[in-house]
């Protein structure tokens, strides 16, 4: 028995090393995006690649295989509690995935990722897909190579399924496809009802000019509202500015970024709420599980459920907007002069098909994701080449959203994900919406007064509910199981669509 | 033969891994000092400790021992060129040092270093040695433990010699003591001559208030003068603000920091020149040697010779000050109204014993170093405890500099070095002055027009001379040998003292 406990302790020490290597890599990645002198990119690629190799060597070590053999045996399992069993299970999944990949491939992917992201930035700024094309193609080839290996190792149904399983365990393409199909019909119905309601939001409100310095104040107000602390000796976060907002970190050091546009002042507010939602999740993981596999977030989809919950379900609620409007009037100079609360809430929740995912409204957003899901499934299946990709992108935007893409920077180059080698990640965003819909329905029952609290400027009831019901679970369950544990029900599309239909219906008056 | 080349390639691959791990650690250290949310300190300590352990494991690996055995053999050596031999020599030195240290001790030192530096910051801000005392003691104990091991491994004359050899190979305490004794006499003579010259600098010029925003502009002017680039797509550096200025990095990503005091506006200018001098060295290392042992700087003392060259020999020269004064008049608001060039040059070069090392003038500076050298020699020999340290510090300041220390933040807590575990580092600063004196004498002969160039705002002749004569040599020689290669002479105190005496004599008119 003590032998099992010793193996388990050894396994946890390896898990800790892995977690610390990844945290260190996270800081280097953050630095690359926010502070690094431009010439440093090649050296940074070497550093990130080495940390990836070290992480790979740590988890793919044959010693880990032996420890896992010992710890997954029947007698060993019988002697462990649920947390221990989950830690062993998660280490085994990581080992199976990593041990299959040759070290050279891991290193090549890491280096290519840093180079392709760098090239993406330049190409996006220059609105020229040309010089980016080749690096993206290299990235895709390497990712395909790794996906084929993972498919065999996991017995996944397809290369793409093998990648999806990294981000959303137990959610293959066929299941996502079915769920997305139901979601698409639901979203289209809402878009149609809004369009035929006769109500026309005054979108010009959203493009009134607010100087960046004022927007920085608005960001501070938003962070203060949700309790994400970036100042003082007790701060565990910080806000920086990048082309593409992101959040990164773990427990006591979780950082977010935003982007300020003078003519889209609400964009930074919502990105701060979104990234803040991610950050609060990481910061509220159970402290006693730090550096253990269970002491991490559940899945990318669950992570997105948290960011989108804060951004949309709270941030775009009439109650939050009503609370913030007086502050915003003060903090935005005269940008909101003469704007009624009703017009403001309507403009924020306007349903308008558009070109840029991260600027999309809550209803049409899902359609952006479905486009990416379909494209990357085709890429992975070899049905779509990098050369054909920009046109395929533009065609789908015309078909699904009725918009014309004019150049690739507002088209296929708008996102960093593929440049970074993240294929299979996008579906998580829309799954996050669906999980969030289910969590919201449950929270409405548990804390019916939450909307009143938010309208008074109190976020604590929501924060507490999310921390107790979602964050405190760490990575104890796969996403589908977590949803079941929290809500008592299996994954459903209906709660999200109902929530959205009710909100948009009330605002548009249909 | 090909076998030797294969072993050599393997050794270089290990050297590269080591270099990349250290670069990654450098960025994490930089982040800790500049950007990290305060709560992140414990996690950061774990990350830094792990990188130290990984570096240790990389170099102390028995495989490295075997490769070195093969490559240091007579026939192997005969087949190698000078660069290859030097790479093997430097790897052997690193291996001998690291293989002797147990991994647990390396990890403990790294963790303790992060914690002690953090505690030092707080204690210094609070002017209270008390809460810092215990962590400093722990740091010293760990350092003594490692020094004793290194002494045995290297056959060094004492524990302290074993540490000195890390920073300044081939420079034991007895030799330093002799050199410092000659330097002390020389410096004291200059101090006496300046004091009895009857010339009295108007020190109030240096404490005129200049708002921080204006000082930031002055920093930009200083960086532009020396050609240290922090802006644009071609930037390989950046400037940030920390309590204690430092520089950190390698080749294409070398960063510096400064500290702004409203009432000491020249302090930031000189710290930017100082750290910029370090940075230009790292950036000008031979590109073909990147990630090789020879592709690193020579020693800490040589590094200091470069920073102090730019700060003092250039930055405090009448020629540079004459060039900068019109810019400074514009950039400092009205702080320099009514100040003549003569008074300005005199105030900048005023010889005044003071309490704070990094604010010390060029003449008295060496005495600050001698104090630290004597104290840490006593600490390492067990003749001085942490409890006795603040008083011993204050006594020496009274004896050597004639100043009364009023609280420990301007006394023993002014420097971060001991908190970080760097014992044996301080002598490098004064050795850097001596090396710099020798380099200057040689440069005066090679480029007699350098002062005219600087007075016209041209730094290129100096920059080029340093790059070609010092930076381009990387780590091909131990410091004493490098000095010989560059100047044709062995280490001497006289050139530095003569340079200083001539400058101060001219300015004070003695």
| ipTM rounded to 2 decimals | 0.90
Total Cβ atoms within 10 A of residue A104: 9
What percent of chain B clears pLDDT 70, i.e. is strictly above it?
100
Interface size, chain A vs chain B, as Cβ–Cβ contacts under 8 Å: 97
What residues of chain A lie within 8 A of the CB of B235, using their CB?
A: 37-39
The DSSP result for A398-446, as a single string, is IIII-----STTTTTTS-STTTTT--S-THHHHHHHHHHHHHHHHHHHH
Average pLDDT over residues B435-441: 98
The catalytic residue positions of B are 275
Beta carbons of B465 and B453 less than 8 angstroms apart = no
Helix (H, G, I), strand (E, B) or coil at A231: coil
What residues of chain A lie within 8 A of the CB of B38, using their CB?
A: 232-235
- Helix ranges restricted to H, A168-284: 173-195, 212-226, 265-283
Cα–Cα distance between A99 and A101 in angstroms, integer?
Answer: 6
Confidence bin at B36 (pLDDT 50/70/90): very high
CA distances from B102 to A127, B143, B310, B385 (A): 54, 13, 40, 25
Confidence bin at B1 (pLDDT 50/70/90): very low
pTM: 0.91
Residue with tokens 């840490």: B376
Instruction: Choose the mutation target among B13, B14, B38 for the interface with A, i.e. most A CBs under 10 Å.
Output: B38
Cα–Cα distance between B101 and A148 in angstroms, integer?
Answer: 44
Q: A246: distance to nearest CA of chain B, Å? A: 17
Beta carbons of B256 and B275 less than 8 angstroms apart = yes
Least CB–CB distance from A27: residue in B28, B50, B54:
B28
List the Cα angle A73/A75/A76 in 5-degree steps: 65
Q: Provide the pLDDT for residue A95.
A: 95
Cα–Cα distance between B304 and B19 in angstroms, integer?
Answer: 21
Q: Supply the DSSP symbol for A300.
A: H
Q: What is the pLDDT of residues B305-360, one digit of tens each?
A: 999 999 999 999 999 999 999 999 999 988 999 999 999 999 999 999 999 998 89
Q: Are the Cβ atoms of A28 and B28 closer than 8 angstroms?
A: yes
Beta carbons of A75 and A7 less than 8 angstroms apart = no
Closest by Cα among B40, B47, B115 to A283: B40
Helix (H, G, I), strand (E, B) or coil at B241: strand
What residues of chain A lie within 8 A of the CB of B47, using their CB?
A: 20, 23-24, 27
Q: Provide the pLDDT for residue A359.
A: 84
Total Cβ atoms within 10 A of residue B247: 23
Compute the CA torsion angle B414, B416, B421, B425 (nearest 10 deg): -80
Specify the length of chain A in residues. Answer: 510
Q: What is the pLDDT of residues A105-141, one digit of tens each?
A: 988 998 899 899 989 999 999 999 999 999 999 999 9
- Helix ranges restricted to H, B79-172: 82-99, 103-126, 130-154, 159-167
Q: Supply the DSSP symbol for A254.
A: E
Residues in Cβ contact with B469 at an 8 Å cutoff, skipping those fewer than 6 apart: B439, B442, B443, B446, B486
What residues of chain A lie within 8 A of the CB of B43, using their CB?
A: 20, 23, 250-253
The backbone torsions φ and ψ at residue A239, rounded to the nearest 5 degrees and listed phi first, read: -115, 130
Least CB–CB distance from B237: residue in A37, A51, A255:
A37
Q: How many CA atoms lie within 13 A of B10 on its CB side?
A: 15
Q: Supply the DSSP symbol for A229.
A: -
Q: Are the Cβ atoms of B17 and A50 closer than 8 angstroms?
A: yes
The backbone torsions φ and ψ at residue A227, rounded to the nearest 5 degrees and listed phi first, read: 80, 30
List the Cα angle B268/B269/B273 in 5-degree steps: 110
Beta carbons of A284 and A227 less than 8 angstroms apart = no
The dotted CATH code for A174-508 is 1.10.1370.30
Residues in Cβ contact with A57 at an 8 Å cutoff, skipping those fewer than 6 apart: A103
- Pairing type for strands B253-258 and B239-241 reads parallel
Q: Are the Cβ atoms of B253 and A50 closer than 8 angstroms?
A: no
Among residues A98, A135, A275, A282, the one annotated as catalytic is A275
Q: A16: distance to nearest CA of chain B, Å? A: 10
Confidence bin at B2 (pLDDT 50/70/90): low
Average pLDDT over residues B56-64: 94
Q: Which of A290-294, A343-347, B35-39, B106-110 bottoms out in mean pLDDT, i.e. has the lowest?
A: B106-110
Q: Tens of pLDDT along chain A (510 residues)? A: 459 999 999 999 999 999 999 999 999 999 999 999 999 999 999 999 999 999 999 999 999 999 999 999 999 999 999 999 999 999 999 999 999 999 899 889 988 998 999 899 999 999 999 999 999 999 999 999 999 999 999 899 999 999 999 999 989 999 999 999 999 999 999 999 999 999 999 999 999 999 999 999 999 999 999 999 999 999 999 999 998 899 999 999 999 999 999 999 999 999 999 999 999 999 999 999 999 999 999 999 999 999 999 999 999 999 999 999 999 999 998 899 999 999 999 999 999 999 999 889 999 999 999 999 999 999 999 999 999 999 999 999 999 999 999 999 999 999 999 999 999 999 999 999 999 999 999 999 999 999 999 999 999 999 999 999 999 999 999 999 999 999 999 999 999 999 999 999 999 999
Q: B55: distance to nearest CA of chain A, Å? A: 11
E strand or H helix that includes residue A331 = helix A318-331
Q: Are the Cβ atoms of A50 and B20 closer than 8 angstroms?
A: yes
List the Cα angle A255/A258/A261 in 5-degree steps: 170
Q: Are the Cβ atoms of A24 and B236 closer than 8 angstroms?
A: no
The encoded tokens of residue A204 equal 């010009």
Q: What is the mean pLDDT of chain A?
A: 96
């Amino acid at each position: 028995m003590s032998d099992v406990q010793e193996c388990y302790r050894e396994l946890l020490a390896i898990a800790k090393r892995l977690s610390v290597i990844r945290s260190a890599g996270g800081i280097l990645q953050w630095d690359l995006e926010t502070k690094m002198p431009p010439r440093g990119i090649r050296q940074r690629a070497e550093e990130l690649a080495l940390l990836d190799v070290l992480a790979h060597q740590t988890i793919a070590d044959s010693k880990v295989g032996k420890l896992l053999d010992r710890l997954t045996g029947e007698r060993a399992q019988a002697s462990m509690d649920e947390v221990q069993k989950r830690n062993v299970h998660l280490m085994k999944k990581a080992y199976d995935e990593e041990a299959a990949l040759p070290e050279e491939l891991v290193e090549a992917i890491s280096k290519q990722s840093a180079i392709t992201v760098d090239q993406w930035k330049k190409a996006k700024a220059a609105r020229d897909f040309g010089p980016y094309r080749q690096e993206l193609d290299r990235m895709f080839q390497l990712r395909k190579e790794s996906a084929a290996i993972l498919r065999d190792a996991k017995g996944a149904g397809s290369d793409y399924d093998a990648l999806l399983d990294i981000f959303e365990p137990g959610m293959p393409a066929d299941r996502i496809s079915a769920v997305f199909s139901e979601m698409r019909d639901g979203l289209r119905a809402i878009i149609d009802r809004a369009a035929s309601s006769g109500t026309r939001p005054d979108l010009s409100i959203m493009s009134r000019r607010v100087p960046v310095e004022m927007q920085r104040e608005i960001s501070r107000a938003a962070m203060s509202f949700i309790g994400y602390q970036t100042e003082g000796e007790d701060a565990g976060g910080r806000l920086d500015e990048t082309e593409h907002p992101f959040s990164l970190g773990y427990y006591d050091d979780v950082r977010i970024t935003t982007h300020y546009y003078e003519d889209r002042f609400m964009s930074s507010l919502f990105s701060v709420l979104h990234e803040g939602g991610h950050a609060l999740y990481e910061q509220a993981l159970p402290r006693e599980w730090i550096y253990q596999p269970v002491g991490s977030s559940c899945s990318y989809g669950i992570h997105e459920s948290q960011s989108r919950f804060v951004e949309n379900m709270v941030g775009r609620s009439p109650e939050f907007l009503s609370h913030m409007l007086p502050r915003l009037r003060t903090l935005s100079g005269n940008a909101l002069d003469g704007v009624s609360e009703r017009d403001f809430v309507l403009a924020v929740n306007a349903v308008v098909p558009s070109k840029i995912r991260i600027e999309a409204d809550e209803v049409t957003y899902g359609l952006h994701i479905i486009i990416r899901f379909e494209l990357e499934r085709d890429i992975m299946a070899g049905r779509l080449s990098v050369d054909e990709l920009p046109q395929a992108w533009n065609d789908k935007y015309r078909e699904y959203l009725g918009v014309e893409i004019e150049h690739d920077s507002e088209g296929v180059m708008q996102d960093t994900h593929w440049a970074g080698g993240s294929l299979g990640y996008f579906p998580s965003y829309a799954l996050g919406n669906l999980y969030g819909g289910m969590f919201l329905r449950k929270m409405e029952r548990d804390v019916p007064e939450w909307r009143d609290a938010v309208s008074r400027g109190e976020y604590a009831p929501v924060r507490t509910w999310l921390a107790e019901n979602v964050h405190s679970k760490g990575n104890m369950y796969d996403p589908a199981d977590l949803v079941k544990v929290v809500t008592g029900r299996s994954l459903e599309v209906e709660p999200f669509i109902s929530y959205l239909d009710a909100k948009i219906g009330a605002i548009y008056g249909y």
